[in-house]
Each structure stands twice: as C-alpha cells, then as structure tokens.
Amino acid sequence: MTGTEHAVLVLRLAAPLQSWGGPSRYNRRETRPQPTKSGVLGLLAAAEGRDREASIADLVGLELGVRADQPGTLLRDYHTYSDYRGLPLLSAKTNAKGQQTRTTPPKYTGITQRFYLQDAVFVAALRGPKTLMESLEEAVRHPVHPLSLGRRSCPPTGPVSLGLRPDTALEFALNEVPWQAGSHRRRQVQDTTVSLEATVEDPAGDHLAVDVPDTYDLKTGTTFGRRTVRHLWVTVPTGRPRPPHPAPDSGAGQSGHDPFALLGW
C-alpha cells in the first residue's frame, strides 16, 4: 500500500470463549491458536453493517499483525443433536428437487465437536489507508451488528478498539501496546517484562497462512487465499517494579561456616 497516508488500528480481542475457524467444516469445527484474518475482517465488516454479499476488497488489502497477550487454553464442546419431531436426520444427499433426503438407514442422533479458546486475550493491529482506518475505528466503537470473536456465540468483553496509531510497521505497533492480559495472568508473571508470541504479515515471511477470504456470501461460499506471515517475539513491560538490589553476601565472614573450604576454594 503506497501513495497514500496510512494509519494503524489496534484492537483488543478478549472473551471467555473465542473460536477462529480454519478449513474445518460440518460436525467437527476446530479453532486456530490465534485470530485469523478472515475472522478479524469479518468483525470489521459486521461493525460497518456490510451485507454478506458486499465486496470486501478494501478490507482484504489491510495488513494484519496479531500478538498473543494471553494464549488461553483449548476447550472441546462435545454434544449430540436430533430432530425434535423424532424424524431421521437429514443426509448430505438431495433429491431431484434439490431437497435434502433423510438418512438411510435412518440415523436419529448426530454428534458435533466444536473447539474454542477459553480465557484468551489478543492484540490485533491493522495497517491501511488512514481514511479507511478512521472509518473502521468509528464503526468498531459504534457497531451496526453485534461483534463476535470468530463465532456469533463468542461476544467480546470490554472495549474492542484501542484506538488509532500513526503509521508504523506492524512489529513496532505491537511493541508499543501495553500488555493486555487479565489480572490472574499478571499475578503469574513476576518479571518486569514478558515475551509474547506475535505474527505479522511479511512478504519475506517464513510461513503461509490460508485465511484470506474472498467473500462472506453464504450462497457462493468462501474461498480462502494465502498470505505470507512472519513469527516473532515481542517484549513488553509488565508494570511490576524492579526488585531492589540484594545486599552483598558476606558469606563465611558472618556465619563462620564455609561449605567450600573442604574443596580448597
């Protein structure tokens, strides 16, 4: 993106449950370990009130960086389902009229497994044209449609927008955002800094992510394109004060006992 003024929009993606689906479908829906570009752009499109059939070409061109402030843990949701009328479940086959047929032999109970990230917190930074980023930031603060983190059942907690930043590389933007972890995670870290895993879009990156959507139209379905990303570690302050310097250890001079004396030290 060149030839125009740019800005960086920073988002805080936190919720009891998140699910950033990949290519998995049907009765087993998995989640990626961090937000996908498809999921983040979908959140922005919902905030603006775009229809599913609307073009997302301007959003696809945004550069995305993600920092894992609190990775969370994996949760598997296992449950069964059936037709409340006691009828056999529908199969994947259709008849001449295009209608789904019942399972043969009849199947009355199905199993679904859906995976979520629980108690996770991420920071997402998006870089793009300043006018577009200003519009998106306003939309996130005053969304037309409810926002969700991957699935409709995963609403975010707390404000999502952390504001606009002057144009900078995604890596630098992720370095500047204060640590967003929850209080219980903060209590676990005793150091003055913490190292956080991050991923940024980079043409010279070391990994391909297949999560760039071409549309959200349910009639045509979504085809996912590739983008090149780079993995890195970001070190940010925890807010803890530096521990005082310990007093010089006088060792055997005070106790009269030197455990290394027998070794001739």
What type of residue sits at position 171?
E
State yes or no: pLDDT of 180 exceeds 90.
Answer: yes
Q: Report the mean per-residue pLDDT for the chain.
A: 90
> Are the C-beta atoms of 160 and 109 separated by less than 8 Å?
no
- Residue 93: pLDDT band (50, 70, 90) is confident
The structural domains of the chain, with segments of one domain joined by +, span: 6-76+118-241
Structure confidence at residue 99 as a pLDDT band (50, 70, 90): confident
Give per-residue pLDDT as tens, 238-255.
Answer: 988 887 766 665 554 455
| Higher pLDDT, residue 25 or 122 | 122
- Domain with residues 6-76+118-241, CATH architecture: 2-Layer Sandwich (3.30)
For residue 260, the model assigns a pLDDT of: 66
* Burial of 122 per CB tally in 10 Å (0-12, 13-18, 19+): buried
> 234, 195, 212: which is closest to 63 by C-alpha?
212
Residue 236 CA to residue 233 CA, distance in Å, equals 10
Give this prediction's pTM.
0.83
What share of the chain has pLDDT > 70, as a percent? Answer: 89
What would the pLDDT profile of 187-226 be if each residue is shown by its tens digit? 999 999 999 999 999 999 989 999 999 999 988 888 999 9
